[in-house]
Amino acid sequence: MAKSTARRRRITPEDLQQFISVADPQVSPDGSRILLTRSHVGEKNQSVSNLWIVEADGSVRPFSSGDNDSHGRWSPDGSRVGFTSSRDKRRPQIYVLEASGGEARALTDFPEGSIGSWAWSPDGRMLAVSFRQTDAGRTEAAEAEREENGSSTPPWEIDELFYRLDGDGYFGSARFRLHLVDTETGQQRMLFGRGTNPSFSFDWSPDSSELLVATNVSREPLLTPWKDELFRIAAKTGKVRRITGVPDGWKSAARYSPDGQRVLFAGREGRETWGVRNSHLFSCRLDGSDLQDLTGHTDFCLSSTVISDTAEATFGAHYDFTADGQQVLMCFGWHGASVVATVPLAGGRVRLLTSGPASTVMGNLSADGRRMAVCT
């Protein structure tokens, strides 16, 4: 074997700009392409992220032109891609771009604030968006007015346990609310805004008629996390129905089953929060009956996370369904690595699909369920 002639040298700060990370892989509905977020350190020492496409032949090309684009999602028919962009840093919006390319247009017109997670409705007509509006006294206009008048920045009046977050800063009592956005007109309205919980999970029903929300509407949700509840919300009217009969306990990552007859969520029963008990995957009927713990017979924990550059450092559960609706695919940490596993929706043995010392991030599945996008 020939000796390498490459010369070793000291690492320089400029070398950091050569690192490229890929994350959040999303396979197109027809399984032919993968959309991903590509990020690197820019010349001004800022994080630069945009969307790229991996074609079926393995070729890679840039898809979006912004410097702060992320969370790319295919429309259900594969004709469009929506993504979050902070082109106006204090007013991030959701943009839409034809899958064939072209110029992206801003679909939403949210005021100053933060966009959390969002999802296309199965029929492609609406987006469900988690949005938190900036307090009126903390907006750019308010800051400009104070500067013009010579006024000082008002102090924060803290009366909530959750008022700031690393990487997010101070937000006081502002909270994320669930909004609906028309994918053609951009018209938007708030659908659900109960409680002071700092976050919540949601999912569209298969027929796009309602949304499932897991949240905590108690006065102090951080002190009473076992009061998490499941709600079904009509998309047209906003009528809220609470799912009763589900035991107390932490609940997150709420999803409808593919046939719309059951709801699934990750969590644990009882009042223990951060302790020794694993988070499991549960399933029940729409009325809360027939509760099943699909992973309780194992030592797997759905909120176990392996931190890497391929995904945000979150501790939430991530799972999806096979096309026939018979199996649930899950991604979680196990023995220092992250793995993909499957369990029958009706209950049964949990089977590991991946192994080895790697951080595997599960994206989504193609419409026929034959291909899944992953980052490792």
**Residue range 316-350, pLDDT digits in tens:** 799 999 989 999 999 999 998 999 999 999 999 99
Contact 145, 99 (CB under 8 A): no
Whole-number average pLDDT of the chain = 92
Residue 90, pLDDT > 90, answer: no
Instruction: Name which residue leads in pLDDT, 24 or 211.
Output: 211
Per-residue confidence band for 216, with pLDDT thresholds at 50, 70 and 90: very high
What is the share, in percent, of the chain residues with pLDDT greater than 70?
96
Give the Cα separation of 361 and 333 in Å (integer): 10
* Average pLDDT of the residues in 167-184: 94
**Residues 214 and 230 sit within 8 Å (Cβ to Cβ):** yes
Please give the pLDDT value at position 198: 85
Quote the pLDDT of residue 331: 94
Contact (CB, 8 A) for 233 and 190: no
Bridge pairing between strands 164-165 and 169-170: antiparallel
Q: What is the pLDDT of residue 312?
A: 61
Q: pLDDT tens across 262-313, in order?
A: 999 999 998 876 678 899 999 999 999 999 999 999 999 998 988 776 666 5
Q: Could you tell me which residues are beta bridge partners of residue 361?
A: 375
pTM confidence score? 0.92
Work out the pLDDT band at 177, boundaries 50, 70, 90.
Answer: very high
SS3 content of the chain, % helix, strand, coil (to 5): 5, 40, 55
Asked if the model's pLDDT at residue 1 lies above 70, the reply is no
HEC secondary structure over 109-123: CCCCEEEEEEEECCC
pLDDT band at 219 (very low <50, low <70, confident <90, very high): confident
Cα–Cα distance between 328 and 358 in angstroms, integer? 21
Model pLDDT for residues 247-263, shown as the tens digit of each residue: 999 999 999 999 999 99
pLDDT on residue 314: 64
Burial, 136: exposed, middle or buried (Cβ in 10 Å; 0-12, 13-18, 19+)? exposed
